[in-house]
């Protein structure tokens, strides 16, 4: 299933990409662990609102096919305290299984095995495989971009047919913010070379690589407890509990809505806007200009749900 087709399937006829923001009253237990019951309710509400299907399983069936191998691109950089919640991926995995994408067809992946492990992702639990790019390796052939060149993760190129992008919403001291677009830096071998100039145009160009772009099926942004400053690492005192998940099939739109939330949380925390802090995430506009999605909020249909 092509990414473009999935992007429009079930979405409203306004022509605008839809982004669904689902907020729970309480989605966390014991500090940073996520409440599985709350997550199930949030996933059901978000997926149905995004795709206009009868339930979450039917929604996922619109986005992935039974025979497909699905990768969960998580963000495990900051370990358990600020990584994609493993409980969230577990619940998405369970829904996928009901949509006939069995656990053995699912892989959670990120740059390093140690990051997966530190974030609670382990193949030993038997739900789905967890593979670091350092274990699977990268393609030898370079993917050329206008401003750089990279080798792609072999997990991405040969072990999955589609990707569910599960970033964590965070302020990023170099890029401005990190969300769905930047999460795909974890699909290349050399993101360290691309953090100059606010990662612009590198993030956009990486997301325009066909092998990355065409496999994006769905974004579920983990904004349960975003890092509002001094990111992307976990910093004590820089977490704002938001109990929120953001659903979209347009990565740029997902990030634009995530950015709006991040700015609100920063204001609540007494922090200046990213622009005033000198870290405007300019790569969003670049990605939009490259046709990867919509970053202008007026061009996005934002649906907000409380569960």
Partner 1 sequence: MMVSRRDFFRTCGGVGCALAAGASAGSGLLRAKPAFAGNVPRAYPARFWKKLGQKRIECELCPKHCQVDDRERGFCGVRENHDGEYKTLVWGQPCAIHVDPIEKKPLFHFLPGTRAFSLATAGCNLECKCCQNWDISQSKPEDVDFRFMPPDEVVRNAKDYDACVTFTYSEPIVFLEYCIDTAMAARKAGVRTTMVTGGSGEAAPMKEALKFLDAVKVDLKGFTEDYYQRLCKGKLEPVLKTLEVIRASGVWLELVHLCVPGQNDSEPEIRAMCHWVKTHLGADVPVHFTRFHPEYQMKNLPPTPNATLVRCREIGLGEGLHFVYTGNVPGLAGENTTCPKCNKVVVARRGFEVDEIHLKAGHCAFCGATIPGVWS
Q: Which residue ranges make up the site for partner 1 (CB under 8 A)?
A: 77-79, 115, 134-140, 142, 144, 148-149, 151, 154, 173, 189-190, 192-193, 195-196, 230-236
Closer CB to partner 1, residue 48 or residue 77?
77
Residues 6 or more apart from 230 whose CB is under 8 A from it?
171, 173, 238
Closer CB to partner 1, residue 77 or residue 300?
77
Nearest distance from C-beta of residue 113 to partner 1, angstroms: 9
Nearest distance from C-beta of residue 95 to partner 1, angstroms: 30
Closer CB to partner 1, residue 67 or residue 236?
236
Residues 6 or more apart from 54 whose CB is under 8 A from it?
48
**Burial degree of 62 (CB within 10 A; 0-12, 13-18, 19+):** buried
Closer CB to partner 1, residue 75 or residue 216?
75
Contact 280, 176 (CB under 8 A): yes
Nearest distance from C-beta of residue 273 to partner 1, angstroms: 21
Nearest distance from C-beta of residue 206 to partner 1, angstroms: 14
Backbone angles phi, psi at 29, to 5 degrees: -130, 150
Q: What is the 3-state secondary structure (H, E, C) of 34-52?
A: ECHHHHHHHHHHHHHHHHC
**DSSP string computed for 51-96:** H--SSHHHHHHHHS-TT--EEEEE--TTGGGTSPPHHHHHHHHHHH
Nearest distance from C-beta of residue 264 to partner 1, angstroms: 23
Closer CB to partner 1, residue 173 or residue 307?
173
Nearest distance from C-beta of residue 94 to partner 1, angstroms: 29
Nearest distance from C-beta of residue 219 to partner 1, angstroms: 23
Residues 6 or more apart from 80 whose CB is under 8 A from it?
32, 118, 119, 120
Which residues pair with residue 72 across a beta bridge? 108, 164
Residue 241 CA to residue 149 CA, distance in Å, equals 37
**Nearest 10 degrees: Cα torsion 49, 258, 148, 4:** 10
Closer CB to partner 1, residue 57 or residue 233?
233
Closer CB to partner 1, residue 23 or residue 182?
182
Handedness of CA 230, 234, 236, 237 (dihedral sign): positive
């Amino acid at each position: 299933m092509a990414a473009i087709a999935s992007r429009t399937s079930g979405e409203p006829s306004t022509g605008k990409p839809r982004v669904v923001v689902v907020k729970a009253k309480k989605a966390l237990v014991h500090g940073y662990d996520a409440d599985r019951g709350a997550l199930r309710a949030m996933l059901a509400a978000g997926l149905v609102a995004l795709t206009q299907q009868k339930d979450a399983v039917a929604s996922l069936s619109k986005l992935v096919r039974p025979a497909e191998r699905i990768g969960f691109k998580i963000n495990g950089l900051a370990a358990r305290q600020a990584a994609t919640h493993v409980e969230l991926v577990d619940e998405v995995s369970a829904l996928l299984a009901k949509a006939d994408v069995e656990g053995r067809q699912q892989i959670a992946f990120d740059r390093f095995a140690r990051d997966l492990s530190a974030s609670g992702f382990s193949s030993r639990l038997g739900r789905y495989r967890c593979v670091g790019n350092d274990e699977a390796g990268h393609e030898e052939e370079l993917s050329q971009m206008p401003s750089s060149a990279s080798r792609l993760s072999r997990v991405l190129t040969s072990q999955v047919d589609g990707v569910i992008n599960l970033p964590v919403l965070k302020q990023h001291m170099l890029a401005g913010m990190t969300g769905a677009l930047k999460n795909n830096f974890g699909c290349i071998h050399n993101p360290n070379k691309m953090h100059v100039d606010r990662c612009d145009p590198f993030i956009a160009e990486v997301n325009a690589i066909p092998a990355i772009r065409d496999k994006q099926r769905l974004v579920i942004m983990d904004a349960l407890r975003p890092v509002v400053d001094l990111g992307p690492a976990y910093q004590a005192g820089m977490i704002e509990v938001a109990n929120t998940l953001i659903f979209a099939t347009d990565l740029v739109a997902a990030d634009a809505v995530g950015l709006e939330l991040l700015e609100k949380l920063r204001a609540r925390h007494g922090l200046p806007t990213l622009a005033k802090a000198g870290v405007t995430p300019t790569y969003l506009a670049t990605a939009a200009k490259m046709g990867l999605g919509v970053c202008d909020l007026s061009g996005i249909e934002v649906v907000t749900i409380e569960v």
